Chain A
Amino acid sequence: MSDQNLTEWRKLALTLEGEVNKVIVGQEGPIKLITTSIFARGHVLLEGDVGVGKTTLLKAFARSIGGGYERIEGTIDLMPNDLIYHTYLGEDGKPHVSNGPILKSGEDLSIFFFNEINRARPQVHSLLLRIMAEKTLSAFNNEFKFPHLIVFADRNQVEKEETFEIPSAARDRFMMEIPIAIPQIDKLMTSLVFDTKFHDADKLIEEAKEKVFKFDKLNEVSKNIQENVNATDALKTYSLNLWKATKNPGLYDIKISGIDVNRLIISGASPRGISMMMKCARVNAWMDNRTSVLPEDIHAVFHETIAHRLVFNPVYELRRTEIAKELTQEIIKKVSAP
Chain B
Amino acid sequence: MHKFFSILLFFSVMGLNAYEDPNKFKDVDPKFIELAIIEPKQRVGYTVGDIIDRDITILIKKPYQLIEESLPIVGYEKRYRGQLLGMTLRDIQFNKKNTEDSITYKISLKYQIFTNNVVAKPAFITADYYRLINPAEPDKIVKVRIPELTIATSPIAIFGAVKVEDDMSTFRGPLSIETISSKMKVQYGAIGFVISILTLFYIYSRYTWFPKQSRFFSYIYRKYKKSNPNEKEIESFISALHHGFNQTINQALFINNKEELFKKNNSFKYIESEIDDFFKLSKAINFEKKTNFNQEEACAWLVIFSLHCRMCERSLIVDSGDIKKLGFK
Interface residues of chain A, those whose CB is within 8 Å of chain B, are: 230, 232, 234-235, 290-296, 299, 332-338
A338 near B252 (CB under 8 angstroms)? no
B242 near A336 (CB under 8 angstroms)? yes
Please name the residue on chain B nearest to A235 by beta carbon. Answer: B287
Q: Select the residue from A230, A292, A334 with max chain B CB neighbours within 10 A.
A: A292
Q: Select the residue from B235, B253, B283, B286 with max chain A CB neighbours within 10 A.
A: B286
Q: Which of B251, B252, B288, B289 contacts A337 (CB 8 A)?
A: B252
- What are the residues of chain A within 8 A of B251 when measuring CB–CB? 333-334
Q: Mark B235-279, 1 if CB is under 8 A from A, else 0.
A: 100110011001000011111110000000000000000000000
A234 near B252 (CB under 8 angstroms)? no
A332 near B283 (CB under 8 angstroms)? no
Whether a CB of chain A sits under 8 angstroms from the CB of B282 is: yes
25 A-B residue pairings within 8 Å (CB atoms): A230-B289, A232-B286, A232-B289, A234-B286, A235-B287, A291-B288, A292-B287, A292-B288, A292-B289, A295-B254, A299-B254, A332-B252, A333-B251, A333-B252, A335-B252, A336-B246, A336-B252, A337-B242, A337-B252, A337-B254, A337-B286, A338-B238, A338-B239, A338-B242, A338-B282
Please name the residue on chain A nearest to B238 by beta carbon. Answer: A338
A232 near B288 (CB under 8 angstroms)? yes
CB distance from B80 to the nearest CB of A (A): 80
CB distance from A302 to the nearest CB of B (A): 12
Cα A334 to Cα B249 in complex, Å, equals 10
> What total of A-B pairs shows CB separation below 8 Å?
46
Q: Which of B238, B243, B287, B288 contacts A295 (CB 8 A)?
A: B287
CB distance from B156 to the nearest CB of A (A): 67
B255 near A296 (CB under 8 angstroms)? yes
Cα A338 to Cα B237 in complex, Å, equals 11
CB distance from A136 to the nearest CB of B (A): 38
- What are the residues of chain B within 8 A of A293 when measuring CB–CB? 287
- What are the residues of chain A within 8 A of B257 when measuring CB–CB? 333
CB distance from B165 to the nearest CB of A (A): 76
Cα A335 to Cα B283 in complex, Å, equals 17
- What are the residues of chain A within 8 A of B239 when measuring CB–CB? 338
CB distance from B322 to the nearest CB of A (A): 27
Cα A186 to Cα B329 in complex, Å, equals 43
> Besides A294-B283, A338-B239, A338-B286, 5 other CB < 8 A contacts?
A235-B286, A292-B287, A333-B257, A336-B252, A337-B286
- What are the residues of chain A within 8 A of B288 when measuring CB–CB? 232, 290-292
Q: Interface size of B by Cβ–Cβ distance < 8 Å?
A: 19
Cα A294 to Cα B246 in complex, Å, equals 18
CB distance from B236 to the nearest CB of A (A): 10
- What are the residues of chain B within 8 A of A334 when measuring CB–CB? 251-252
Cα A296 to Cα B279 in complex, Å, equals 12
> Which 5 A-B pairs give the minimum distances between C-beta atoms?
A333-B251, A336-B252, A234-B286, A292-B288, A338-B286
CB distance from A281 to the nearest CB of B (A): 11
Please name the residue on chain B nearest to A332 by beta carbon. Answer: B252
CB distance from A328 to the nearest CB of B (A): 13
Cα A235 to Cα B289 in complex, Å, equals 11
Q: Which of A234, A299, A332, A335 contacts B287 (CB 8 A)?
A: A234
B254 near A296 (CB under 8 angstroms)? yes
Cα A333 to Cα B249 in complex, Å, equals 10
CB distance from A293 to the nearest CB of B (A): 7
Cα A294 to Cα B285 in complex, Å, equals 11
Cα A217 to Cα B61 in complex, Å, equals 119
- What are the residues of chain A within 8 A of B235 when measuring CB–CB? 338
CB distance from B83 to the nearest CB of A (A): 83
- What are the residues of chain A within 8 A of B253 when measuring CB–CB? 336
Cα A294 to Cα B253 in complex, Å, equals 14
Cα A230 to Cα B287 in complex, Å, equals 9
Please name the residue on chain B nearest to A297 by beta carbon. Answer: B287
CB distance from A96 to the nearest CB of B (A): 58
A294 near B287 (CB under 8 angstroms)? yes
CB distance from B241 to the nearest CB of A (A): 10
CB distance from B186 to the nearest CB of A (A): 52
- What are the residues of chain B within 8 A of A234 when measuring CB–CB? 286-287
- What are the residues of chain B within 8 A of A291 when measuring CB–CB? 288
CB distance from A147 to the nearest CB of B (A): 33
CB distance from B247 to the nearest CB of A (A): 10
Q: Which of B243, B287, B289 contacts A336 (CB 8 A)?
A: B243
Q: Select the residue from B257, B287, B288 with max chain A CB neighbours within 10 A.
A: B287
- What are the residues of chain A within 8 A of B254 when measuring CB–CB? 295-296, 299, 337
CB distance from B95 to the nearest CB of A (A): 62
CB distance from B33 to the nearest CB of A (A): 76
CB distance from A233 to the nearest CB of B (A): 9
Cα A290 to Cα B284 in complex, Å, equals 12
Please name the residue on chain A nearest to B249 by beta carbon. Answer: A333
CB distance from B251 to the nearest CB of A (A): 4
CB distance from A252 to the nearest CB of B (A): 10
Please name the residue on chain B nearest to A333 by beta carbon. Answer: B251
Cα A334 to Cα B252 in complex, Å, equals 5
CB distance from A85 to the nearest CB of B (A): 50
Cα A292 to Cα B235 in complex, Å, equals 18
CB distance from B287 to the nearest CB of A (A): 5
- What are the residues of chain A within 8 A of B286 when measuring CB–CB? 232, 234-235, 337-338
